[in-house]
Amino acid sequence: MLVMKFGGSSVESSSAIERVAGIVRTRAKQPIVVVVSAIGKTTNRLLDIAHEAVAGNRQGALVKLDDLRAHHFDIADHFGATDLIDGPFAELAELVRGLAVLGELTPRSLDAIAAYGERLSSVIVAKAMNAVHADARDYIVTDERHTQAAPLYAQTYARLKHLPPTPITVMGGFIGSTEAGVTSTLGRGGSDFTASIVGAGLHATEIQIWTDVDGMLTADPRVFPGGHRVKSISFAEAAELAYFGAKVLHPSTVLPAMDGGIPVLILNSRRPEVAGTRIVKDSVPCRNAVKSIACKTNITLVNITSTRMLMAHGFLRRIFEIFDRFETPVDMLATSEVSVSLTIDTSAHVPDIVKELESFAEVTVEAGQTIVCLVGENIRHTPGVASRVFAALEPINVRMISQGASLLNLSVVVAAADLPKAVESLHAEFFRELDPEVFES
Ligand code: ASP
């Protein structure tokens, strides 16, 4: 059993859907469950329509709905599936009119609207593949936290056992229903989560997440284009990379798969011949110290110094209490007896935070910083990594360093202007030779 998930851009047109159907056919030696996202940007468009309707612009909302309908009909027509989406679009128009009358948008009605994206895409894709359609709402059971619902695993896994035993089954991602049968959604980007839940529930041999990138790379492609593909990576490393800006996959979505010991593959639907990146539960033996270099831009560095705090306790508590009050998460941290440097990636409350900190400390703020993060399980037991980092960064002013907390990353803060050079030098240092078991150049 294989689970294959295709995102919105992989099903954005009839030719994209044909390409997907072709990919699925080549893997059909075993039973497959295909999980699809809404077509293109449909979810955004549906939410926009809902907001427009409750804001009182009924006509505007209906015009936008007509556009969305035309787009879906174009695609459905290609596969002889228009009769399958007539009904849902009629219901949607009713719903939009109802929202305009009510003038109120509850999380539950947001879910009702948003769910149409995957309801529509899944019936079209099922028809295009000549496959059986399964309504995800009959299988994915969730709690009642609409727009952010959590799956109820025991019920969901029990229901998945009754999925039709067909060679290819297509279901929508992202959507489910509560125990009472009310439509719910798993949160934005939730289709990966659906794939992971279905794979775990059915004990799949593998879960394939088809995207529009070749997988995870040794460096952030937006900053350094010369990276190599990482063939396999541990879940802990992948999660660390995701946090530091690699937008390929949200780590929490692959948890059910990892708990079930099922590998998750990232693949490119535009280049299906590329073997992608395999995410596995345990660490992957590797001769390189580092697996990948991630970057997080738009970081603000806050330096806080107070000599009054020498030998006094409670300094850190006072600082963090302020960041907490302004709901501002702190990322990296370095401390000495009388000073603390920390980074934040939301600067909305910086003026308020600084004002409060200045009641007991001197504060400087440096915007426009970046975090460069080396990720790899080997960092913890390879001597000399730090000296190689500093040698590579020789001409660059390093503002802050951190290693330790997760044991699998070493992070430095540099000014945004230094970022390209820093990543290029680090990449040259740590990927001069590649372990062929782990990387594909
Ligand atoms: N269509 C949903 C969204 O745009 C879920 C997904 O694509 O994963 O958030």
pLDDT, one tens digit per residue, over 408-439 is: 999 999 999 999 999 999 999 999 999 999 99
Ligand 1 atom nearest the C-alpha of 194 is 8
43 CA → ligand 1 middle, Å: 6
257's tokens:
């798969």
Ligand 1 atom nearest the C-alpha of 193 is 8
User: How many CA atoms within 13 Å lie on the side-chain side of 183?
Assistant: 18
Amino acid 311: pLDDT: 67
β pairing state of 168-172 and 229-230: unpaired
What span, in angstroms and rounded, lies between the C-alpha atoms of 33 and 3?
5
Domain span including residue 421: 292-440
Q: How many domains does the structure of the chain reveal?
A: 2
Q: Please indicate, yes or no, whether residues 69 and 178 belong to a single structural domain of this protein.
A: yes
- Residues across the chain: 441
Amino acid 254: pLDDT: 86
- Of 212, 235, 251, which residue is a domain's last? 212
Amino acid 403: pLDDT: 82
Residue type at 11?
V
What span, in angstroms and rounded, lies between the C-alpha atoms of 330 and 328?
7
Residue type at 230?
V
Q: Please indicate, yes or no, whether residues 94 and 197 belong to a single structural domain of this protein.
A: yes
Ligand 1 atom nearest the C-alpha of 174 is 5
Q: Where are the alpha helices (DSSP H) in 142-232?
A: 153-160, 191-201
What span, in angstroms and rounded, lies between the C-alpha atoms of 246 and 236?
14
Q: How far apart are the first and last CA of the chain?
A: 31
- Of 156, 180, 212, which residue is a domain's last? 212
The answer to whether residue 226 sits within a structural domain is no
- Of 212, 233, 265, which residue is a domain's last? 212
Q: How many CB atoms lie within 10 A of CB 327?
A: 9
Nearest CA to ligand 1 atom 5: 189
Q: Please indicate, yes or no, whether residues 182 and 309 belong to a single structural domain of this protein.
A: no
207's tokens:
């879960």
pLDDT in tens, 251-264: 778 889 999 999 99
280 CA → ligand 1 middle, Å: 24
36 CA → ligand 1 middle, Å: 9
Ligand 1 pocket by C-beta < 6 Å: which residues?
7-8, 37-38, 43, 117, 173-174, 188-191
Amino acid 244: pLDDT: 66
Amino acid 346: pLDDT: 85
The answer to whether residue 255 sits within a structural domain is no
Amino acid 247: pLDDT: 66
CATH number at residue 128: 3.40.1160.10
Amino acid 256: pLDDT: 92
Nearest CA to ligand 1 atom 2: 189
- For the chain, list residues with pLDDT below 70: 243-248, 309-311
Nearest CA to ligand 1 atom 8: 189
Look-up: residue for tokens 């305009």? 100
Q: Please indicate, yes or no, whether residues 179 and 38 belong to a single structural domain of this protein.
A: yes
DSSP string across 253-296: GGHHHHHTT--EEEEETT-TTS--EEEESS----SSS-SEEEEE
Ligand 1 atom nearest the C-alpha of 41 is 4
Identify the bridge partners of residue 177 per DSSP, sorted by sequence position. 141, 183
β pairing state of 175-178 and 183-185: antiparallel
What span, in angstroms and rounded, lies between the C-alpha atoms of 410 and 374?
5
